[in-house]
Amino acid sequence: MKTPLRIALVLALAGLLAPAILAQTSGTVQISGTASAAVKLTSGGNASLTGNVGGGVTAQSAADAALATVVDFGEVGPGNTNTYVCFTQPLFLRANAPSTVSAAVTAESFGASPDAVQKDDIGIGFLNLAAGGPNADISTTTITAAFGADPCAATLDADGIPAYSADLDSLATSTPGTAVITSTGPISLRGNFNSASNEADVDLHLAMVPQSYEAGVFSATLTLTMTTP
């Protein structure tokens, strides 16, 4: 049987403990995460070919799809009297960190004779750099000078032979390549990598000047690679 004194002590102790139990009114959650460097190079839409006789763009890469265009320059011998055959492929570049774009020529098949079409007969350039929307910043994006000239407007000598600023022979033969075509700071500021307003737009130009080459065919694969350190 509890005495009145003991009951009083228990009640007093309970009264002292109750405020301590009810006093916990806040807490913390520690948060951390990582935003990794990322880049994305895709087609910027349908490619075009001008000045061609025969041939054409036989497989297109839709805007923001993986770049997998196929082009046939058609006749590039005396049967084509146009000054240039010019191929244009729009590109989208996205990056949330500094990055570079390089290129390589692989799976190449050119004639053994120097009088046949060779890699240095195909000029290359990156033109018309522009911000694709309000969330794109190209203020720190540069195109290496040699690749900034339009091969479709290359100077021709008295024999009609072009002097390209850069050609496919300027490129490595294994990916990702060593020649830096573009160098960028962060391009894509906000939005995800499918956003229509945070990419840099640029046009890849490839050009040939029809000449009296040794008869034959040629082919190659041009691979563009965007990387971040």
pLDDT per position in the chain (229 positions), as tens?
555 545 454 444 455 455 556 788 999 999 999 999 999 999 999 999 999 999 999 999 999 999 999 999 999 999 999 999 999 999 999 999 999 999 999 999 999 999 999 999 999 999 999 999 999 999 999 999 999 999 999 999 999 999 999 999 999 999 888 888 999 999 999 999 999 999 999 999 999 999 999 999 999 999 999 999 7
Q: Does residue 221 sit within a domain?
A: yes
Number of domains in the chain: 1
Q: What is the pLDDT of residue 5?
A: 45
Distance CA 100, CA 228 (A): 6
Contact 180, 101 (CB under 8 A): yes
Contact criterion met (CB below 8 Å) for 164 and 207: yes
For residue 163, is it within any domain?
yes
| pLDDT for 17 | 52
Tell me, yes or no, whether 18 lies in a domain: no
Residue 1 lies in a domain: no
Give the three-state DSSP class for 188. strand
Assess if residue 11 is contained within a domain: no
- Does residue 46 sit within a domain? yes
Q: Residue 218 corresponds to which tokens in the numbers above?
A: 């040629």
Sign for the pseudo-dihedral over CA of 156, 158, 160, 166: negative
Is 48 a domain residue? yes
What residues make up the domain containing 190?
Answer: 39-227
- Answer whether residue 160 is part of any domain: yes
pTM flag (> 0.85)? yes
Q: What is the pLDDT of residue 11?
A: 45
Using the Cα atoms of residue 127, residue 132, residue 138 and residue 141 in order, give the sign of their dihedral: negative
Residue 229: per-residue pLDDT: 74
